[in-house]
Amino acid sequence: MTTRPWIVDDDLWTLIEPLLPPWPERSPGPRPVPDRLCLQGILYVLHNDIAWQLLPLELGFGSGQTCWRRLDRWQQAGVFDRLHRILLAELNAPGELDWSRACMDGPHIRAKKGGTDTGPSPVDRRKTGSKHHLIRDGRGTPLKVITTAANVNDVTRTLALVDGIPPIAGRPGRPRRRPEALLGDKGYDSNLNRRELCKRRILSVISRRGAPNIEGLGKLRYVAEQTFALLRQFKRLAVRWERRTELHDAFVSLTCGLICWRRLKKRRS
């Protein structure tokens, strides 16, 4: 990792720039801060977890309010989800995505300011929090993340995670959306979900409550902890500060894209 991870290199900017909505030619007010600098300001906040108003003006990112508004605007335009999907396709093309299995889990985070999709956390003394329902491929690459209140049961988001995987191109044939098998702990135990997964031609490898764990399941799911560690490297995701879920999801989607970008760069180097 570079000493300044918020710097957007030319190759990444080449992917992002066409996705950004254009500014009106005759917009009122002063000339807007360039998009690339605003994106670097957003990344600075994502990596360092500082308040928007503390964004260093000497770095040329513009004010925190400018970057915050640009983040909101880009999220409404679906920029970060599309970037994530493009990078997944870039990884899928050389076979870097492992479709033989997918793992799901739901880590909790503290929500300091409350807001939508927050609730009492059952693992944090009922402090207000949220949960990241995450599904990733067999190598730990994040495919889809859904943010809910901390007291939402994992089992209720199983099908939403599976169906939320975007169609990923990159290889001959139709874009792929389904893993061959889905792994989960006892929190995902549901006969209804097993039947629905079977209809989608997905093998469910999920431990049953009251029964011994499936032998070897822990070794297959070790990538879950790896993915959580990758997410936590971006300090803004360790604690939720945004009251609006869509702004928090903007950081989550951007982080997923950056994880894919790092893996793509590692493969190319």
What's the pLDDT at 1?
A: 42
Tens of pLDDT along the chain (269 residues) come to 447 888 999 999 999 999 999 887 766 666 788 999 999 999 999 999 999 999 998 888 888 999 999 999 999 999 999 999 999 999 999 999 999 999 988 889 999 999 999 999 998 999 999 999 999 998 989 999 999 999 999 999 999 999 999 999 989 899 999 999 999 888 898 999 999 999 999 999 887 887 666 555 666 566 667 787 888 889 999 999 999 999 999 999 999 999 999 999 988 87
Q: Is the dihedral of CA 263, 265, 267, 269 positive or negative?
A: negative
What's the pLDDT at 106?
A: 86
What's the pLDDT at 267?
A: 85
Q: Where are the beta strands (DSSP E) in the chain?
A: 102-105, 108-111, 119-120, 128-137, 142-149, 181-184, 203-206, 239-240
What's the pLDDT at 107?
A: 87
Domains of the chain (ranges, CATH numbers): 10-21+30-76 (no CATH), 98-239 (3.30.420.10)
What's the pLDDT at 201?
A: 96
Residue with tokens 């993915």: 227
What's the pLDDT at 29?
A: 62
Residue with tokens 């009122």: 28
First vs last C-alpha separation in the chain: 14
Side-chain half-sphere exposure of 47, counting CA atoms within 13 A: 17
What's the pLDDT at 27?
A: 63
Tokens at residue 53, please?
Answer: 């108003």
Closest C-alpha among 268, 267, 233, 265 to residue 8: 265
Side-chain half-sphere exposure of 128, counting CA atoms within 13 A: 12
